[in-house]
Amino acid sequence: MSCGAPQPLREGLPQDTDIEQVFGSKFRDVKLDTPFLFGGKAGLFFDPSILGGNLGLELEVYHFQPDVGDQVVQGTFPGFTGPATVGSKDVHVTVVGLNALYRFRLAEDPQFPRGRFQPYLGMGVGAFIANLKTTTGILDVPQTVSDTDVKPGFQATVGTRFFLIPHLALFTEYKYTHTADFNFNLISGAGTMAGNPTFSVNNFKFDLTTHLLAVGLSYHW
């Protein structure tokens, strides 16, 4: 049995997404910012070996911010299709994931009995906790509004680990993630529009697909 606690440095590459709003309107192929990520994970691999490798489990937590910047995209609205402006939105995502892994044991020797070079792959599920924050311009006095939603997501991982010394390894990792649709309901406080009391309600719905690249050091015991 062996354990590890990597501390990764990561970069996220989100795919474009479609943002739906109330009354059937949709913004297509909205670009998300490329964020840096931070987090950590702990794993446990089990003996004996299976087909020359080991099965394992890992728990990980990481955070990234795939913001939406001001942009013009193709929009679809009741009675109209054409260019439409998407305003900037802050998007914060925290993931708590559980993965099942299989690692290969290559270049075994007495100093590295489980292999000095360990390619691995796996898949898992996670809780994706997302917060969306934006400023509404509908009211006479702009207001910042936000909402948080939690959705399940799928993860698939491929990586390699190379031991520099018996307990310290350099690792690189690629992870693909995909979530169910987030649904954000943004309700502003009371304000005025054209001098009349009113409030603003906005709804945003979209999924999140990302390609995560990671490199870092991990400690094993």
Fold designation for 2-15+34-65+90-130+146-220: Porin (2.40.160)
Cβ–Cβ under 8 Å, residues 177 and 212: yes
Residues in the chain: 221
Peptide bond between residue 66 and the one before it cis (omega within 30 degrees of 0) = no
Per-residue pLDDT of the chain (221 residues; tens, 9 = 90+): 445 544 455 567 788 898 887 667 888 889 998 888 888 889 999 988 888 899 999 999 999 999 998 898 988 888 788 888 888 899 999 999 999 999 999 999 999 999 999 999 999 999 999 999 988 765 566 778 889 999 999 999 999 999 999 999 999 999 999 999 999 988 765 555 455 545 556 788 999 999 988 888 888 88
Cβ–Cβ under 8 Å, residues 177 and 95: yes
Q: How many CA atoms lie within 13 A of 158 on its CB side?
A: 2
pTM score of the predicted model? 0.85
**Domain assignments of the chain as residue spans, ordered by start:** 2-15+34-65+90-130+146-220
Q: Residue 158 has which token pair?
A: 């491929």
Residue 22 CB: number of other CB atoms within 10 A? 11
